[in-house]
Amino acid sequence: MDYLIELISEFKYRVVSSLINQYHTGWVTAVPGFTWCFINMFLVGVSSLLVVFLAPVAAGSGIPQIKCYLNGLNIPRLMRCLTMFVKGAGVVLAVSGGLAVGKEGPMIHIGSVVAAGISQGRVMFFRWSLRSLRFFRNDRQKRDFVSAGAAAGVAAAFGAPVGGLLFALEEGASFVYQRLTWTILFASMVSMFVLALLKTLIHTHSFNFTPGGLASFGAFTFLDTFSVSELLLFLVMGAFGGVSGALFVKANALLTQYRQKYVTSKYGKVIEVVLVSFLTTSIGFALIWLVQDCGPVAFTTNPHPLKLMCADNEFNTMSALLFNTPERSLRILFHEPPGTFNVTTLLVFFPVYYIIACFTYGLSVSSGLFIPALLIGASWGRVIGNWMYSTYPETFPRPGKFALIGAAAQLGGVVRMTLSLTVILMEATGNVIVGLPLLMTLVVAKYTGDYLSEGIYDEHIGLSSMALLPWEPDPLSSSKRAYDVMCSPVVYLEPVMHVRALVEQIRENLHHGFPIVEGPVNPPRFSYGTLVGIISSEHLAIILKHRIFLKEDGSPMRSLEYADYDSEYPSYAKLQDVLQDLTEEDLEAHVNLRPYMCEAPYSVPETMTMNRVYHLFRLLGLRHLPVVDSENQVRGMITRKDLCRFRFERIGDQLRVEELTFSKKVKPKHPGVM
C-alpha cells in the first residue's frame, strides 16, 4: 500500500509541478490547478464508489468498529475478506487522492481482518476452509486474534510494536491474560520486521534494514535534554490540544448527525466525497498562490519544492504543507530548520486544514485520523516553536520539538488515548527520551478534552447507538443489587421439551441465552425452577435446524456432531429463521437439550451487589448470567444491556439513580460514560 501510494503521488506531483512550471503567469495558472483537482477527484471518487457499493463497513478508520468488536459486540461483515480489500484499495486511492486522511487507522482494521481470517483458516469469500484450525473457531479465540491483528497493524503503521500491544490493551482486549499479551507482542514484532525488511528491499535492494513503520517521523537525534520550564510549557500545550481536540470532536459529531439525516442515498455519499475532494484541492491550490512565504531551498528534504514567485534559491513553503503527502508534510514540520516557515503561513494553514480534516472524517471513504490530527497539531506547535526560537534562539534552537509536542497534544485531544499513544509516538520518533514529555502532554490533553467532550471514537460509537461496556462499573453502583438489575420475567426452557412449547416460549423473546430449569415454576412469585444449565441461541438454532429430536421411545434420532457446529461458524443460522422453517410435524416432536446445554453455568445470588456482578461479567467475558435465590431457583437474568441500565450521580450527599429506558429503537446515547 505504501509503495502504491508513493508511486501514484509521485506521478501526480510530477505532472502537476511540471504544469505549474510551464504555466505560471496570468490566467493559465488555473491549468495545473484544474489538472490537480481532476486527478484527485477521480482517485477519491473511485475510492468512495468502492466503499459505498461494495463494503460500507469499510468507511472511516475502522477503529471504533474494532473497539466495539473487541468489547463483545458483533458487527456484520466487519471481518470479511472483501471489506479488507475495499479498505486497502480505498485508502490507497484516498491518500494518493490528496484527501486529509492517513493510512494508519485503516492499517489497524486490515491487520484485524487478516488475523481473524488466519485464525479461522477460512475465507468466506473464496469458500475455503482449513480443518486443522478448527480449535480457533470460537468467539473468544477469534477476539484474541483480532486484538493481535490490530496491534500488528499499529506496529506496521508506526513501527511501534510495544505501542501496538498497549493500543490493543487500552482500546480493546477485555480479558487480558499473560499469554495473550505475549502473542500480541510477538505478532507486532513480526509485523514490523517484515514491513521494515520489505521497505528496505524495495528501496535499496539490500538486506540491511532499519526497523521502522510506514509513518516514520524521522530521527529526533537532537532531543536529549529537557528543562523543567519547557515541561511546564508542554503542559499548557497539552491543555490547548485538549480544547482544540474537543472542539474538533464536537464539530465532527454535529456534522455526522447532519450526515445521518440528510446524506442517506448511496450516490449522495459519493457526490459528497467528490465535493470535499474538490474543495480540499482547490483551497490548497489557492493557498499556495495566495500565501507567498519563501524558504531557502538548500536545507529542505521536500522532493517537489515549488518555486512559484520565490527567488531562485527559494521555494514556496505553503507547498511543503499542501503539495505533499501528509506524512511528508509532517516530517518537514518536525525537522526543517527554524527559518523554513513563516508564522503567517502556519497560522493560515492551521485553521484551514483543521476545517478540511473535520469535514473529511466521517465521509464514506477509508480514512485514518491520526496523520491529519498530527499535522494540525504540528502546525500550531511549530508556531509556538518559532516564537520560542525568535525569543530565545540559544535555548530553543529547534522548533521541531514543539511541533512534535503540539502534534501529540492535538491527536491526544481528539482520540483521548494516553498510554498507548505515548509509546506509539515514542517509537515513531525512535527516541526513548521523548516519552516523559509526551506522556505529560497527553495526560493533560486527555483530561482537558474529557471535560469538554468524549473522544472521537466514543462519540462515533454513541452516534451509531452501540452499547459498550466500560472497563469498570460506576463506583456508586454498589448501591444496587442483582435483583434491581436483572430482567424478569425469565424466558426459561426445560431439559426435555415438546418442540411446540419451546417455540411458544421463545418466539417472542429471542434472547442470546436461555436458562434451563427443573421443578415447579411460579412466575407470579418470581421463581422459575432450579437452574440446571444454560443454552445459547446459536446452539439452540443448530439443534432445531438439524432436527435433533427424540424418537417415540425417547432415544434421540441422531446426535449433534462437532462438524455441525463447525460448518456453521461464525454465521450460525438465525434462530428466527429456523423457527419459521419448522413444520407442523416437527412441532409435535420432543427435544432433549441436556446433552447440549452448558451444565455448570456461572450464576450469582440475587443479593450480590452490582459492582461485583459487573466484574464477573467483564472479567469472564459473559453475555448473560442467571440470577438465583438461596435455593438455586432462577429469579432473573442479567445481560450486557442491564449493566448499562442505571446512571448514577452523586449530588451533594444524595445518590440519584436514574433508570434509562431501552427499547429496540432507543439505545443509550453515550454508552461509554454509563
**Cβ atoms of residues 165 and 198 within 8 Å:** no
Minimum CB distance to its own copies smaller for 349 or for 514: 514
Cell numbers for 357: 480534516
Task: Give the binding range for its own copies (CB under 8 A) out of 126-134, 217-225, 566-574, 645-653.
Answer: 217-225
For its own copies, the binding residues in 34-93 under the rule CB under 8 A are: none
Q: CB of 193: closest distance to its own copies in angstroms?
A: 6
Task: Give the binding range for its own copies (CB under 8 A) out of 82-90, 204-212, 397-405, 540-548.
Answer: 204-212
**Cβ atoms of residues 363 and 96 within 8 Å:** no
Distance CA 599, CA 91 (A): 48
Q: CB of 483: closest distance to its own copies in angstroms?
A: 10
Minimum CB distance to its own copies smaller for 392 or for 602: 602
Distance CA 231, CA 266 (A): 49
The DSSP output letter for 133 is G
Distance CA 35, CA 18 (A): 11
Query: Site mask, its own copies, residues 161-180, x = CB under 8 A?
Result: xx---x--xx----xxxxx-
Q: CB of 248: closest distance to its own copies in angstroms?
A: 24
Q: CB of 201: closest distance to its own copies in angstroms?
A: 10
The DSSP output letter for 547 is T
Residue with grid cell 510477538, as numbered in its chain: 186
**Which residues are 297's β-sheet partners?**
none
State how far Cα 225 lies from the chain centre. Answer: 35
E strand or H helix that includes residue 559: none
Minimum CB distance to its own copies smaller for 328 or for 618: 618
Q: CB of 310: closest distance to its own copies in angstroms?
A: 35
Distance CA 463, CA 539 (A): 32
Minimum CB distance to its own copies smaller for 41 or for 330: 330
Minimum CB distance to its own copies smaller for 338 or for 519: 519
Q: CB of 625: closest distance to its own copies in angstroms?
A: 12
For its own copies, the binding residues in 316-335 under the rule CB under 8 A are: none
Minimum CB distance to its own copies smaller for 420 or for 592: 420
**Close Cβ partners of 63 (under 8 Å, ≥ 6 residues apart):** 105, 108, 109, 171, 457
Beta-carbon count within 10 A of 362 CB: 23
Q: CB of 420: closest distance to its own copies in angstroms?
A: 10
**Close Cβ partners of 669 (under 8 Å, ≥ 6 residues apart):** 462, 465
Among 25, 221, 583, 663, binds its own copies (CB under 8 A): 221
Q: CB of 619: closest distance to its own copies in angstroms?
A: 4
- With contacts defined by CB under 8 A, how many residues of the chain interact with its own copies? 78
For its own copies, the binding residues in 183-202 under the rule CB under 8 A are: 185-186, 189, 192-193, 196-197
Query: Site mask, its own copies, residues 368-407, x = CB under 8 A?
Result: ----------------------------------------
Minimum CB distance to its own copies smaller for 321 or for 638: 638
Does 631 bind its own copies (CB under 8 A)? Our answer is: yes
Q: CB of 386: closest distance to its own copies in angstroms?
A: 21
Q: CB of 8: closest distance to its own copies in angstroms?
A: 28
Among 566, 585, 588, 599, binds its own copies (CB under 8 A): 599
Does 508 bind its own copies (CB under 8 A)? Our answer is: no
Q: CB of 425: closest distance to its own copies in angstroms?
A: 11
Among the listed residues 463, 471, 470, 459, the one whose alpha carbon sits nearest the alpha carbon of residue 245: 459
Minimum CB distance to its own copies smaller for 112 or for 216: 216
For its own copies, the binding residues in 276-305 under the rule CB under 8 A are: none
Among the listed residues 231, 166, 242, 163, the one whose alpha carbon sits nearest the alpha carbon of residue 443: 242
Q: CB of 603: closest distance to its own copies in angstroms?
A: 8
Minimum CB distance to its own copies smaller for 239 or for 628: 628
Minimum CB distance to its own copies smaller for 197 or for 251: 197
Q: HSE, CB side, 13 Å, CA atoms: give it for residue 108.
A: 29
Q: CB of 177: closest distance to its own copies in angstroms?
A: 6
Crossing angle of helices 139-158/63-71, nearest 10°? 150
Crossing angle of helices 456-463/400-415, nearest 10°? 30
| Helix, strand, or coil (residue 524) | helix
Does 225 bind its own copies (CB under 8 A)? Our answer is: yes
Cell numbers for 464: 451509531
Residue 244's φ and ψ, nearest 5 degrees, are: -65, -40
Distance CA 555, CA 596 (A): 15
Does 481 bind its own copies (CB under 8 A)? Our answer is: yes
Among the listed residues 450, 457, 340, the one whose alpha carbon sits nearest the alpha carbon of residue 389: 340
Minimum CB distance to its own copies smaller for 359 or for 514: 514
Minimum CB distance to its own copies smaller for 227 or for 265: 227
Task: Give the binding range for its own copies (CB under 8 A) out of 160-168, 248-256, 317-325, 553-561.
Answer: 160-168
Query: In Å, how far are 119, 174, 476, 621 from 140, measured between CA atoms?
Result: 11, 10, 30, 9
**Cβ atoms of residues 478 and 610 within 8 Å:** yes
For its own copies, the binding residues in 600-629 under the rule CB under 8 A are: 600-609, 612, 615-616, 619-620, 628
Cell numbers for 521: 415454576
For its own copies, the binding residues in 418-437 under the rule CB under 8 A are: 418-419, 423, 426-427, 429-433, 435-436
Distance CA 529, CA 523 (A): 9
For its own copies, the binding residues in 228-267 under the rule CB under 8 A are: 228-229
Among 26, 27, 126, 224, binds its own copies (CB under 8 A): 224
Minimum CB distance to its own copies smaller for 86 or for 532: 532
Query: Site mask, its own copies, residues 437-466, x = CB under 8 A?
Result: --xx--x-----------------------
DSSP-assigned letters across all residues of 580-626? HH--HHHHHSEEE-GGGSBSS---EETTSBHHHHHHHHHHHT-SEEE
**Which residues are 530's β-sheet partners?**
518, 633
Minimum CB distance to its own copies smaller for 362 or for 473: 473
Query: In Å, how far are 14, 30, 318, 328 from 344, measured between CA atoms?
Result: 27, 24, 10, 20
State how far Cα 158 lies from the chain centre. Answer: 16
For its own copies, the binding residues in 523-552 under the rule CB under 8 A are: 530-532
Minimum CB distance to its own copies smaller for 3 or for 602: 602
Minimum CB distance to its own copies smaller for 269 or for 624: 624
Residue 663's φ and ψ, nearest 5 degrees, are: -140, 180
Distance CA 385, CA 224 (A): 17
Minimum CB distance to its own copies smaller for 403 or for 627: 627
Task: Give the binding range for its own copies (CB under 8 A) out of 102-110, 209-217, 287-295, 459-467.
Answer: 209-217
Q: What is the gyration radius of the CA atoms in the chain, in angstroms?
A: 28
